């Protein structure tokens, strides 16, 4: 049996993103979304989610680009002089691995983000992270350990079947994240949590056009797949250069994609349906 979760990342980062996610769920095939609890438009996102009970909302743990949940003085080793995350810097990434004090700061920040999600009153559908920072082994362990205390039951391990991608369109390079993603999937399942068998979105991050989404759906492998996108109705302050936000929205609204799902007997699902 083939099951697919259609997920939109970055819910709450901006109103154009929220607009697109609501439209893609109400009028398209979007089944879940991942909420940035410190995003500038988080309150707007939560208000919309409360009117869409069939939309599965998860926590998008954000350790880059958006502000932290905790005051900077509580997490001095994770932020720069402006109070913004610097976890992507090699020195900080290594410090998380090697220094227990830094891991305690990380744990406190991730716990604070879970608490903000709980405060929304929304059921927790799943957990993933902005820029897949939970591929870092220490971050993955913290997210899972904290998540167990907050009812986390499913997460993303971005293992992308490149053989399927190549049936749709030639791609260059190798998936260097795959070994880390497999370890994350193992950790999730050992903790009794669900993780999709396949995840699509890495090769075409920000470029999941209607043609590409149709191609993936036509060649969808057996088991459970997650396809994640970044829809938006227009540009916004944290928009990534080169991302085709409106085309990704068009992909989620595409009647041909819905027809492929129906003809193929593919089940649309949320993480909580697994």
The model's pTM is 0.94
Q: pLDDT (tens digit, 9 = 90+) per residue, 62-74?
A: 999 999 999 999 9
**Cα(218)–Cα(93) distance, integer angstroms:** 39
Range 104-115 average pLDDT = 98
Task: Report pLDDT for 177.
Answer: 80
Contact 110, 133 (CB under 8 A): no
Grouping H, G, I as helix, E, B as strand and the rest as coil, residue 181 is helix
Contact 226, 268 (CB under 8 A): no
Q: pLDDT (tens digit, 9 = 90+) per residue, 153-211?
A: 999 999 999 999 999 998 877 777 888 999 999 999 999 999 999 999 999 999 999 99
Contact 44, 18 (CB under 8 A): yes
Q: Which residues of 57-76 are buried (b: 16+ CB within 10 A; e: fewer)?
A: bbbbbbbebbebbbebeebe
Distances (CA, A) of 123 to 32, 54, 119, 267: 12, 11, 10, 21
- The structure tokens 């109070």 sit at 83
């Amino acid at each position: 049996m083939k099951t697919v979760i259609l997920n939109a990342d970055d819910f709450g980062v901006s109103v154009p993103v929220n607009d697109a996610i609501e439209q893609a769920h109400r009028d398209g095939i979007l089944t879940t979304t991942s909420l940035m609890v410190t995003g500038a438009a988080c309150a707007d996102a939560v208000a919309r989610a409360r009117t869409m009970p069939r939309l599965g909302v998860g926590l998008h743990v954000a350790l880059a680009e958006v502000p932290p949940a905790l005051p900077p003085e509580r997490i001095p080793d994770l932020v720069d002089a402006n109070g913004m995350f610097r976890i992507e810097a090699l020195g900080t990434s290594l410090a998380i691995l090697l220094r227990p004090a830094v891991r305690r700061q990380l744990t406190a920040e991730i716990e604070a983000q879970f608490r903000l999600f709980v405060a929304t009153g929304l059921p927790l559908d799943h957990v993933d992270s902005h820029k897949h920072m939970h591929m870092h082994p220490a971050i993955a362990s913290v997210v899972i350990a904290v998540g167990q205390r907050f009812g986390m039951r499913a997460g993303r391990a971005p293992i992308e079947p490149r053989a399927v991608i190549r049936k749709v369109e030639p791609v260059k390079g190798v998936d260097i994240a795959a070994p880390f993603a497999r370890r994350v999937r193992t950790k999730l399942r050992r903790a009794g949590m669900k993780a999709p068998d396949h995840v699509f979105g890495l090769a075409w991050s920000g470029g999941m056009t209607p043609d590409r989404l149709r191609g993936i759906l036509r060649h969808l492998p057996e088991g459970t797949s997650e396809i994640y996108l970044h829809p938006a109705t227009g540009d916004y302050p944290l928009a990534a250069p080169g991302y085709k936000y409106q085309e990704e929205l068009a992909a989620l609204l595409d009647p041909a994609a819905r027809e492929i799902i129906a003809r193929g007997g593919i089940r649309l699902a949320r993480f909580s349906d697994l």
